[in-house]
Amino acid sequence: MKPSLAPGIRHRHTFVVPSSKTVPALYPESAEFVAMPEVFATGYLVGFLEWACILAVNPHLDWPREQTVGTHIDVSHEAATPPGLEVTAEVELVEVDGRRLVFAVEAHDGVERISRGRHERFIIDKARFDDKMGRKAGQ
């Protein structure tokens, strides 16, 4: 971690929603998902918010040795977004507690707010994390 990693860091990230990020594409193995409306899937929305948080803090880490992983998400999904619209995430780092990072997050689709809430991430050492996951996979 660099000394610059502190509450108040903000980041805005935009993304045009493709058909590949809609509910039917989330689990194409599921007939139930495939039959649902073609709108930005909540699962992809969560990933989009995480992406914005990662981009916000990476300049303040020893990237790529240090990375962050999501540990908690508490967000709304307030409105549906069809493919083709641009979504914008605005995130702010509001708390740094050792290696635990807490963000306020919000997203908009150019028409209305689609999400808001909180997200927590944890700073990891990539090599140690990969080693631990390798041992876990081998059990």
Please tell me the predicted confidence (pLDDT) of residue 97. 98
Q: How many CB atoms lie within 10 A of CB 17?
A: 22
> What does the alpha-carbon distance between residue 49 and residue 18 come to, in Å, rounded to a whole number?
16
Please tell me the predicted confidence (pLDDT) of residue 88. 98
> What does the alpha-carbon distance between residue 98 and residue 84 come to, in Å, rounded to a whole number?
39
Please tell me the predicted confidence (pLDDT) of residue 139. 82
Cα–Cα distance list, 72 to 12, 84, 96, 100, 129 (Å) = 20, 29, 14, 10, 18
Burial code (b: 16+ CB inside 10 Å, e: under 16) for 96-121 equals beeeebbbebbbbbeeeebbbbebbb
Residue 36: name the closest of 24, 19, 21, 22 by CA: 24
Please tell me the predicted confidence (pLDDT) of residue 37. 97
Looking at 3.10.129.10, 3.40.190.80, 3.30.470.20, 3.40.50.2000, the CATH number of the domain 10-137 comes to 3.10.129.10
Q: Show which residues are catalytic.
A: 42, 50, 77
Q: 69 pairs with which residues across the strands?
A: 122
Could you give the percent of the chain with pLDDT greater than 70?
100
Quote the Cα angle for 42-81-58, to 5°: 60
Q: What are the boundaries of each domain within the chain?
A: 10-137
Burial code (b: 16+ CB inside 10 Å, e: under 16) for 55-71 equals ebbeebbeeeebbbeee
Low-confidence ranges of the chain (pLDDT < 70): none
Please tell me the predicted confidence (pLDDT) of residue 102. 99
